[in-house]
């Protein structure tokens, strides 16, 4: 019986991941399949594992990334730090009972993609990916070439995909220089739009890159979180990087966008949108028209998918469990 991997969440009607992994398995000659498991609640995971003993790992998307943490027997340092898991490996004992190990690949994938966008040299990234500055990278230990090909949707979850297409970004004028480590962006700070699970992963990656940040929320209730009404000119000027973690602008509601003062954007700003369907969101379009550099989340999605595969396969490596 072929090994099965999959994704759990709700809804999954336009999930990117089944297509991505089907192409990967075909291209690399891997005897496995990938299925979408739309669950009404997180409690159905146990029944799924009983019903599908061939299921060796699954991705987790909205709305279960945080809830799945309560089901894990083991959580990686990344998952524990973020408080959410988007990748679960199923290790089965001699009696067939499942043991769940959870990981978060979103944070590292975002950090790597952002570092490429900002022009950081590979040695300064530290997220465990190899590959060129503009894509095609894979996490250390991942099996095979990533061969990225197509997909639109939302990168925080590997879901909501639309028609195949290329990622959209305007390259950094600082590429090839170490901007954060001593160049123009050595004092860069970020605004993180949204305060959900995706924002947690983004903040964790920013911390890893040494980029200070403020979270912007419609309902700020804790230190380090401000409201959209607090985005005064001096705040916008002090934060060159703006990351949208909200679903605003995702297909089909492509006219929507976060309520930031776009008129205060300049060519000094970098706008990163976790959304990748459409390829250029309204958030990105408005920034581009003001001269800002912009990028969508397609590369992040591809990177996190390859990191998920590496995590699932870790148990089969000489260093992993099940050796």
Q: What angle do CA 101, 114, 293 make, to 5 degrees?
A: 150
Could you list the beta-strand ranges (E) of 78-162. 87-92, 98-103, 129-132, 135-139
Element counts in the chain: helices (H) and strands (E): 8, 14
Tell me the average pLDDT across 232-248.
97
pLDDT of residue 299: 96
Q: With 80 as the cut, is the pLDDT of residue 187 above it?
A: no
pLDDT of the residue at 128? 65
pLDDT of 141 > 80? The answer is no
Q: Which of 37, 276, 38 is nearest to 155 (CA)?
A: 276
In this structure, the dihedral spanned by the alpha carbons of residues 132, 133, 136 and 142, taken in order and rounded to 10 degrees, is 70
Asked if the model's pLDDT at residue 163 lies above 80, the reply is: no
pLDDT band at 292 (very low <50, low <70, confident <90, very high): very high
Q: What is the pLDDT of residues 39-61, one digit of tens each?
A: 999 999 999 999 999 999 999 99
What confidence category does residue 13 fall into, taking pLDDT thresholds of 50, 70 and 90? Answer: confident
pLDDT of residue 321: 40
Q: Indicate if 323 belongs to the active site.
A: no
Euclidean distance between CA atoms 116 and 192, whole angstroms: 18
Q: Residue 170 — pLDDT band, cuts 50, 70, 90?
A: confident
Is-contact 191 109, C-beta < 8 A?
no
CB atoms within 10 A of CB 221: 7
Higher pLDDT, 79 or 167: 79
Work out the average pLDDT over 226-245. Answer: 97
Mean pLDDT computed over 26-50? 97
The active-site residue out of 24, 65, 295, 323 is 65
For residue 142, pLDDT over 50 is answered with no
Whether 242 has a pLDDT exceeding 90, the answer reads yes
Residues ≥6 apart with Cβ < 8 Å to 302? 20, 135, 146, 148, 151
Report the distance separating Cα 214 and Cα 174, nearest Å.
24
Q: What span, in angstroms and rounded, lies between the C-alpha atoms of 48 and 29?
A: 27
Question: Average pLDDT in the 255-276 region?
Answer: 97
Order of strands, edge to edge, in the sheet holding 3-9?
32-38, 3-9, 55-60, 87-92, 98-103, 74-75
Q: Which residue, chain included where needed, has tokens 């099965």?
A: 4
Domains of the chain: 3-104+303-316 (3.40.50.10860), 108-301 (3.40.50.720)
């Amino acid at each position: 019986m072929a090994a099965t991997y999959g994704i759990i969440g709700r809804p999954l009607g336009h999930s990117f991941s089944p297509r991505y992994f089907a192409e990967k398995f075909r291209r690399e000659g891997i005897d496995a399949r990938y299925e979408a498991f739309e669950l009404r609640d997180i409690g159905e995971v146990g029944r799924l594992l009983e019903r599908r003993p061939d299921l060796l790992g699954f991705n987790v998307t909205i709305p279960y990334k945080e809830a799945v943490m309560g089901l894990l027997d083991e959580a990686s340092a990344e998952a524990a730090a973020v408080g959410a898991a988007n990748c679960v490996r199923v290790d089965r004992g001699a009696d067939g009972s499942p043991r769940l190990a959870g990981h978060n690949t979103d944070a590292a994938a975002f950090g790597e993609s952002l570092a490429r966008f900002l022009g950081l040299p590979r040695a300064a990234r530290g997220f465990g990916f190899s590959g060129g500055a503009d894509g095609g990278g894979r996490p250390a230990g991942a099996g095979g070439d990533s061969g990225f090909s197509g997909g639109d949707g939302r990168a925080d979850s590997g879901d909501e995909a639309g028609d195949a297409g290329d990622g959209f970004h305007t390259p950094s004028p600082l590429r090839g220089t170490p901007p954060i480590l001593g160049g123009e962006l050595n004092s860069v700070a970020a605004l993180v739009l949204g305060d959900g699970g995706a924002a947690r992963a983004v903040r964790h990656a920013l911390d890893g890159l040494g980029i200070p940040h403020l979270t912007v929320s419609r309902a700020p209730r804790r230190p380090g979180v401000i409201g959209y009404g607090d985005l005064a000119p001096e705040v916008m000027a002090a934060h060159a990087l703006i990351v949208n973690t909200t679903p605003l602008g995702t297909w089909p509601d492509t006219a929507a966008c976060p309520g930031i003062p776009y008129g205060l954007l300049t060519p000094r700003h970098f706008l990163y949108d976790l959304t990748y369907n459409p390829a250029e969101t309204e958030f990105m379009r408005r920034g581009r028209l003001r001269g800002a550099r912009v990028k969508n989340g397609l590369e992040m999605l591809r990177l996190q998918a390859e990191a998920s595969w590496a995590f699932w396969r870790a148990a089969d490596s000489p260093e992993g469990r099940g050796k």
